[in-house]
Structure 1
Amino acid sequence: MPSIENLEPKLVWKHFDEIRKIPRCSKHEEKIREYIVNFAKKQGLKTKVDPVGNVVILKPATARMQNKPTIILQGHMDMVCEKNSDVKFDFTKDPIQLKINGDLLTASGTTLGADNGIGLAISLAILEDEKLRHGSIESLYTVDEETGLTGAFAMKSDMLSGKIMLNLDSEDFGVITVGCAGGGDSEIELPIKMQTAQAGGEYLIVKVSGLRGGHSGVDIHEQRGNAIKILTRLLWKVSQKFEFSLFDIKGGDKHNAIPREVYAKLTIDKKNKNAFVIVLKAEEKDIYEEIKPIDPNLKVDVGSCEPSKMVLDKLSQTKLLNLLHGLPHGVQQMNYDIKTLVNTSTNLATVSVKENTITIGMSSRSPMKSALQDMRDRIKAIASLSGAKVSEGTPYPGWKPDLQSKILALSKRTFKDMFKAEPKIEAIHAGLECGIIGEKFPGMDMISIGPTLKNPHSPEEQLHISTVDKFYKYLLKILESV
C-alpha cells in the first residue's frame, strides 16, 4: 500500500500526516492550535494568539529579501467532520484513515480534512524550510471557518501588518480565485403538537441515503440530490393517498453541506402498509430517473422501527410537509456577467425534532447583500405560512474581484512562466475568509489558490496528489518574486 511518507514535497506531507491524526472539528480546534504553536516554538518563531484562538506565526525575511513586502499566508484550522452512517468513527479522538488510489488521496468513509489541512501543511512546511527565499511572512490560522467564519469575524486590526494575502483554501490547481459569495444562515422553528398514537399501527422508518452530498456552495450548481427534499417529496406524495403519523425526522448535519442522508419514523394502519410502500417506491423510481445522471446511487429503504407513544397531530404534520416541500433549495439565480457562476442559492441543510419543535436549517449565498437578504426574506415568508418563526445568523460579506490587483498579475505571470499555460481567473459561489478579512483590513491585495481537491465536506473528498507538489513550487516562486 503506498504511503504519503514517500510523497513530495516531504515537509508538506510530514505535516499533513500529523494534522490528520489531530481532532479538529469546527469549534474544537484546541489540539491543532497546540500543534501549530508548539511547532512555532520549536522553530524559534514568534506567535500571536487572539482571544478566540486564531494564531499568527511570524517568520522573518531571508537574507537579502528584507526589502520585500510582508506576505500573509492564510488558512483555517477546522474541518468538516462528516462520515457515512455505516462507518464507526469518533472525530473527537480517531485519526483520519488515509487511502491512496493512483493520484487520489481519500479517507475511509469520512471526510479527508484536506479542506483546509493541506493548506495548513503547505504553510507550515514553508515556515520550517530554512532554504527558501522570501520576504517576511505572517502565517494566519483561523478557527471555525466551516460553521460560521467566527475566527475571521473576531480578528482585531493588530493581528496583521501585511497588505498582501495568499489564501490557501482554494480547491482547483490552475485557478486563481479573486472573489466569493457572501452568505447567511436561517433557522426555522416550527411549533408542533403531539398526540397519542393509535393502537395497532405498523411502525416504519423511511430512510434516504446513497447521495453524493457535497459543498452547498461550490457544488450547488450540479443539482445533486438533497436527501431532505427527496424524503419530503416521497412523504408528501403518499400523504395524498394514505393517512399516517410522523413521530421523528432527522437529516443533514452541517449548514454548508448538501444533506446526503435523512430518515423519518411513522406509524400507519397495518392494512395500508403494502400499498404505502408501493406508492412510495413508484415515486422513488421517478426521482431516480430525474437525478441519476448526477446521483446514480440514490437509495430509499423502508423498514420496521421501535414504536412511539406520541406522534404529530394531523395539522402539525400537514404544516411540516407543506413547509419542507415548499422551501426552496438550490440555484435561484445565475450571474448575468459570468454565465457559469451562480449568483444566488440556498441549501435546505438540516431538519430535526426536539420536544415540541421541528428545527430546519437553511444556508443562503450571494455576492450581493440585497440578493442575499431577499433570499432570506423569501424563506421567512414561506415559513410564516406554516406559523414557523425564523432567526437569522449574522451574514458574512462577499469579496468583490479586483482584476487590477498586483498580486493577481504576478501570480498569473508566474503560472504562465512555470506551466506554459494561462491560469483561469474565477470567482466562486462559496464563502471565503477573504471577504471578511478584506472588509476588516481595507486595501488588502488578495487571491485564493490551492491544489486540486474534489468533493469537500463529504466522505468522497479527494485530494489530487500530483497537484500538491506543483502548487508548492508555484507558491514558493510567488513568494520569491513578490
Structure 2
Amino acid sequence: MNAHLEQLSPRPLWRHFRTLCNTPRPSGHEAALIALLERWADGLGLAHDRDAFGNLRIRKPATPGHEQAPGVILQGHLDMVAQANADHPHDFTRDPLDTQVVNGWLHARHTTLGADNGLGVAAALAILEDDALIHGPLEALFTLEEESSMGGALNLAEGWLEGSLLLNLDSEDRGQVYIGCAGGADVIVDAQLPTAPPAADETALSLSLTGLSGGHSGIDIHKGRGNANRLLVRALRALEPLGARLVDYRGGTLRNALPREAFATLMLPEEELAHAQARVAALEAELRAELAGVDEGLSLSLASGAASAAEALTAEASRLLVRALHVAPCGVERMSVELPGVVETSNNLGVVSLAAGRFHLCALVRSLRDSATADLADRFRALFELIGARTRVENAYPGWTPDPESPLLVCFRRLHRERLGNDPEVKVIHAGLECGILGGKYPALDMISFGPLIRGAHSPDERVELASVEEFWTLLRALVEDLATVGAEDAGRSSGAPNS
C-alpha cells in the first residue's frame, strides 16, 4: 500500500513515512509500530530502550572524531489523530491510510493523513540510518499518546535522556521556527440528569449540523471557523421556547479537534413542528451569513421520523443544560499583549454527548499563562456546578517559555539564511507542543521546533506540501551536521545529561 510514496524526494524520509501510513497508530494503539521500529533498529545495530510508560528511544553513537559534540535529541510523537469523513468507513486500528498526491500536496483519501507527526518521525528515522551524515551523539525520542493526552511526555522518565539539544519536529509551517508554546488542560464534565417519558402529544425529531471545516483546536482556533457544538446548541436554544426536550446528543470526536458535526434527538409538541422547521431554516441562513468566507459548507436540518424515545430530559433539565452549554467559554478568550497576533487563552468545546440522561463534556483549555489555564478551567467548574455536574481537570501540562537568545536558535537561523536565502520567522504557537513538558523534566535542554508545511491537521483535509518536506529535510540534515562541528559552548548550554 502507498508504494508511490517511495518515488517522492527525499526518498529515505518518504520510505519511512510509507511505513507509518501502512501501520495503524491512533493514540493508545502505537504498540505495533513500536515493535516494528525496534526490529528496524536491531537490523541497523542501533541501541534502543523504553521508559516505564513505553516511550521509545533509539540511539546512534557519534561519527568518529565528533564524540565531544553536544548530544542531539530528535523528538516526535508516534500517534496520529483518527478522523474520517462521516460517510467513509475506516478502522484506524486496522486499516492503512490511502494517500494521493494532488497539485504538489500529499493527502489521504477521506481521512487524516498523519503527517502530524509522522513526517517528523520519518525524518528522525532517516537521519538515524544516514551513514553519510557527520553527527554528534544522536538520540531519537518517540513519545506516545500526544494527540489524546500528552501522556507520553507527561510520563517521560527523568534522568533518562542524555543530549543537551532537542529538535522537536512537530511544527507545521514552512519558513518558521518555534521557541514557545501554550500549556493546556482537559476539562471533563459529567452529570446524570433527570428524565421523563415523552408526552402523548410529543414527537421525536432529529437535529443535525454538518459540513464545517474543523481543524486544529489550537492552531486554527482564531480563524473564525464554526464549532459544531457551539452552533447546534444555538439551534437548541432557538427551539427551547417551543418546548423542545433533549433525548440524546453527540458532537465532536476529539478534544483537540474543532468539531465538524453535531447531532441531537429531541422531543417536541407536534403542534410546534412547523414553527420549529421555520426557526431552524432561519437560523441556518443566519449561520451561513456569519460564516461566509470562512466556513462555507454548513448545513443545519430538522427532520421528523426519528425513533421515539422511552425517556427524554425533563423540561427543566433540558433548559438548564442547553443554557449552560450556550454560555460555556468557547473559542479565543484573550489575545496576547506581549506577542501581537498570538492567541493567549482559548477553549475548544471538543466532545459533547448525552445518552439516557448521562451528560459528558470534554473541553481543552489552552493558554500561554498557566494561571489563565487554571482560571478558565475553574470557570467551567463554577458554571456546570449550577446544574449539578461534576467537573475535573486532567492532563494539565505547562507552556514552553520563549528564549529569543537560545544558542540553538542562533545556529538554526544562520543555516536557514545560508541554505534557503532568507531568515525564518521566530514564532510562539498556540498549541501544545511537547517541549513545555520536556523542558519541565529536563530544564537545561536548549530546544527549537520546526517542520514542513501542513494544513488541515486533525481533520480529513490534512495535507502536506511536498516542496516544503524537501526544505525541511535539507535544514534538518544541515543542522545535525553543523552541530557536530561546533563546540558545546557555542551550540548548547551544557553537555551530558541535563537533569541528572
Shift in Å, 1:159: 2.3
SS of the equivalent of 1:157 reads coil
With normalisation by structure 1, the TM-score equals: 0.97
SS of the equivalent of 1:199 reads coil
* Contact 1:235–1:280, Cα closer than 8 Å, also in 2: no
* Contact 2:193–2:317, Cα closer than 8 Å, also in 1: yes
Find the counterpart in structure 2 of residue 366 from structure 1. Answer: 367
1:350 equivalent in alignment to 2:351? yes
Find the counterpart in structure 1 of residue 284 from structure 2. Answer: 284
User: What amino acid is aligned across from residue 214 of structure 2 in structure 1?
Assistant: G
Shift in Å, 1:46: 0.2
Q: Superposed, which structure 2 residues align to 1:73-88 within 5 Å? A: 73-88=74-89
1:55 equivalent in alignment to 2:59? no
Shift in Å, 1:61: 1.1
User: What amino acid is aligned across from residue 452 of structure 1 in structure 2?
Assistant: L
Find the counterpart in structure 1 of residue 120 from structure 2. Answer: 119
Q: Superposed, which structure 2 residues align to 1:224-303 within 5 Å? A: 224-240=225-241, 242-303=242-303
Q: What whole-Å deviation, never above 9, does each CA across 1:413-465 have from its counterpart, x for those lacking one?
A: 00001111110000000111100111101210000011111111111101111
Shift in Å, 1:200: 5.3
SS of the equivalent of 1:222 reads coil
Determine the C-alpha separation between the residues in 1 that align with 2:118 and 2:204: 44
Determine the C-alpha separation between the residues in 2 that align with 1:205 and 1:99: 36
1:385 equivalent in alignment to 2:399? no
Shift in Å, 1:102: 1.3
* Contact 2:332–2:346, Cα closer than 8 Å, also in 1: yes
Q: What whole-Å deviation, never above 9, does each CA across 1:102-133 have from its counterpart, x for those lacking one?
A: 11111111111111011111111111121111
* Contact 1:323–1:382, Cα closer than 8 Å, also in 2: yes
Determine the C-alpha separation between the residues in 1 that align with 2:7 and 2:24: 24
1:192 equivalent in alignment to 2:193? yes
Determine the C-alpha separation between the residues in 2 that align with 1:455 and 1:78: 17
Shift in Å, 1:328: 1.1
1:67 equivalent in alignment to 2:51? no
* Contact 1:211–1:260, Cα closer than 8 Å, also in 2: yes
User: What amino acid is aligned across from residue 479 of structure 1 in structure 2?
Assistant: V
* Contact 1:341–1:428, Cα closer than 8 Å, also in 2: yes
Residues 59 and 2 of structure 1: is their aligned pair in 2 closer, same or farther, counting only changes over 3 Å? closer
Q: What whole-Å deviation, never above 9, does each CA across 1:370-429 have from its counterpart, x for those lacking one?
A: 111111111112212222221111410000011111110000000001111110000000
Q: What whole-Å deviation, never above 9, does each CA across 1:256-282 have from its counterpart, x for those lacking one?
A: 111111100012233322221111110
Q: Superposed, which structure 2 residues align to 1:79-228 within 5 Å? A: 79-199=80-200, 201-228=202-229
* Contact 2:281–2:301, Cα closer than 8 Å, also in 1: no
Unaligned segments of structure 1, at least 5 residues: none
Find the counterpart in structure 1 of residue 458 from structure 2. Answer: 457
Find the counterpart in structure 1 of residue 332 from structure 2. Answer: 331
SS of the equivalent of 2:345 reads strand
Shift in Å, 1:362: 1.2
Find the counterpart in structure 2 of residue 435 from structure 1. Answer: 436
Determine the C-alpha separation between the residues in 2 that align with 1:388 and 1:281: 32
Shift in Å, 1:32: 1.2
Shift in Å, 1:64: 3.0
Determine the C-alpha separation between the residues in 1 that align with 2:363 and 2:155: 23
Q: What whole-Å deviation, never above 9, does each CA across 1:144-194 have from its counterpart, x for those lacking one?
A: 111111111111223201110000000012100000000011111233111
* Contact 1:181–1:431, Cα closer than 8 Å, also in 2: yes
Determine the C-alpha separation between the residues in 1 that align with 2:432 and 2:93: 26
User: What amino acid is aligned across from residue 291 of structure 1 in structure 2?
Assistant: L
User: What amino acid is aligned across from residue 271 of structure 1 in structure 2?
Assistant: E
Task: Report which stretch shifted further, 198-207 or 27-36.
Answer: 198-207
Find the counterpart in structure 1 of residue 488 from structure 2. Answer: none
Determine the C-alpha separation between the residues in 1 that align with 2:345 and 2:193: 31
* Contact 2:249–2:264, Cα closer than 8 Å, also in 1: yes
Find the counterpart in structure 1 of residue 480 from structure 2. Answer: 479
Determine the C-alpha separation between the residues in 1 that align with 2:236 and 2:293: 23
User: What amino acid is aligned across from residue 470 of structure 1 in structure 2?
Assistant: E
Unaligned segments of structure 2, at least 5 residues: 484-500
User: What amino acid is aligned across from residue 233 of structure 2 in structure 1?
Assistant: T
SS of the equivalent of 1:3 reads helix
Shift in Å, 1:2: 9.9
SS of the equivalent of 1:295 reads coil
User: What amino acid is aligned across from residue 357 of structure 1 in structure 2?
Assistant: R
* Contact 1:11–1:125, Cα closer than 8 Å, also in 2: yes
User: What amino acid is aligned across from residue 223 of structure 1 in structure 2?
Assistant: G
Superposition RMSD on alpha carbons, in Å? 1.3
Shift in Å, 1:337: 1.5
Determine the C-alpha separation between the residues in 2 that align with 1:319 and 1:387: 10
Determine the C-alpha separation between the residues in 2 that align with 1:296 and 1:377: 34
Shift in Å, 1:297: 0.5
SS of the equivalent of 2:37 reads helix
Residues 293 and 220 of structure 1: is their aligned pair in 2 closer, same or farther, counting only changes over 3 Å? same
* Contact 2:52–2:157, Cα closer than 8 Å, also in 1: no
Determine the C-alpha separation between the residues in 2 that align with 1:399 and 1:60: 29
User: What amino acid is aligned across from residue 261 of structure 1 in structure 2?
Assistant: E
Shift in Å, 1:56: 0.5
Determine the C-alpha separation between the residues in 2 that align with 1:202 and 1:237: 18
Determine the C-alpha separation between the residues in 2 that align with 1:447 and 1:106: 27
Determine the C-alpha separation between the residues in 2 that align with 1:172 and 1:266: 43
Determine the C-alpha separation between the residues in 2 that align with 1:159 and 1:460: 37
* Contact 1:48–1:159, Cα closer than 8 Å, also in 2: no
User: What amino acid is aligned across from residue 248 of structure 1 in structure 2?
Assistant: D
* Contact 2:311–2:356, Cα closer than 8 Å, also in 1: no
SS of the equivalent of 1:125 reads helix
Determine the C-alpha separation between the residues in 1 that align with 2:104 and 2:244: 50
Q: What whole-Å deviation, never above 9, does each CA across 1:338-391 have from its counterpart, x for those lacking one?
A: 110000111111111244321111110112111111111111122122222211
* Contact 1:176–1:424, Cα closer than 8 Å, also in 2: yes
Determine the C-alpha separation between the residues in 1 that align with 2:32 and 2:68: 36
Shift in Å, 1:301: 2.5
User: What amino acid is aligned across from residue 87 of structure 2 in structure 1?
Assistant: D
With normalisation by structure 2, the TM-score equals: 0.94
* Contact 1:190–1:320, Cα closer than 8 Å, also in 2: no
User: What amino acid is aligned across from residue 427 of structure 1 in structure 2?
Assistant: V
SS of the equivalent of 1:96 reads coil
* Contact 2:280–2:302, Cα closer than 8 Å, also in 1: no
Task: Report which stretch shifted further, 198-207 or 279-288.
Answer: 198-207
